[in-house]
Amino acid sequence: MSLAKSPWIIHVNCNSCNGCDIEVVACLTPLYDAERFGVLNIGTPKQADIMVVTGSVNYKNVNVLKNIYNQIPDPKVVLAVGACASTGGIFHDCYNVIGGVDQVIPVDAYVPGCCPRPEAILDGVVAALSILENKKKGNIKGKEVKLKGNEVPSNA
């Protein structure tokens, strides 16, 4: 069966005001009905096809984000939702903020806005579906991202 017919997404909140998270959850309500695209929000990265990330990345959650990304099987697509996930947003000058998600893991599609409307998020998911299909056809693998602080010493 085609991945575009029933994509499973995992939603990861890095560090946000929860505005984008409320809009992502709104996509799952009957009003916007993301399930008409076959979208299913799941809690485990090992079965996900699309990673939806909200919020800016900081030094406390960078390893969690990388770990979740590495657990998603190939082919995978990362969708950055909101200004914070795209650029760091209003938090970009904070001492503990690294920036947008693309500073840490490769991002395939962006949904701009603070906070983006559910319609825009659904458009982003639909765009991610075509990227996912292209990756599946081309057998393009995601880049493995190393966890910070878990490096093996060179003399080991």
Give the separation between CA 92 and CA 112, rounded to whole angstroms. Answer: 15
pLDDT at 155 exceeding the cut of 50: yes
Which two structure tokens, joined as six digits, stand for 146? 């190393």
Domain membership of residue 33 as a residue range: 3-137
Question: How does pLDDT run across 39-78, given as a tens digit for each residue?
Answer: 888 888 998 989 999 988 989 889 999 999 999 988 899 9
pLDDT at 1 exceeding the cut of 50: no
Which stretch, 5-19, 20-34, 106-120, has highest mean pLDDT?
Answer: 106-120
- Give 148 or 72, the one with higher predicted confidence: 72
Give the separation between CA 110 and CA 44, rounded to whole angstroms. Answer: 22
Which amino acid, residue 25? Answer: V
**Residue 38 is part of a domain; what is its CATH number?**
3.40.50.12280
Whether residue 83 is contained in a domain is answered as: yes
Please tell me whether the peptide bond between 115 and the residue prior to it is cis, using omega within 30 degrees of 0.
yes
Give the separation between CA 146 and CA 152, rounded to whole angstroms. Answer: 11
Whether residue 142 is contained in a domain is answered as: no
Instruction: Look at the chain and report how many structural domains it folds into.
Output: 1
Output the pLDDT for position 105: 92
Helix/strand/coil for 11:
strand
Closest CA to 56 of 92, 29, 21: 92
Residue 140: band (very low, low, confident or very high) from pLDDT cuts 50, 70, 90: low
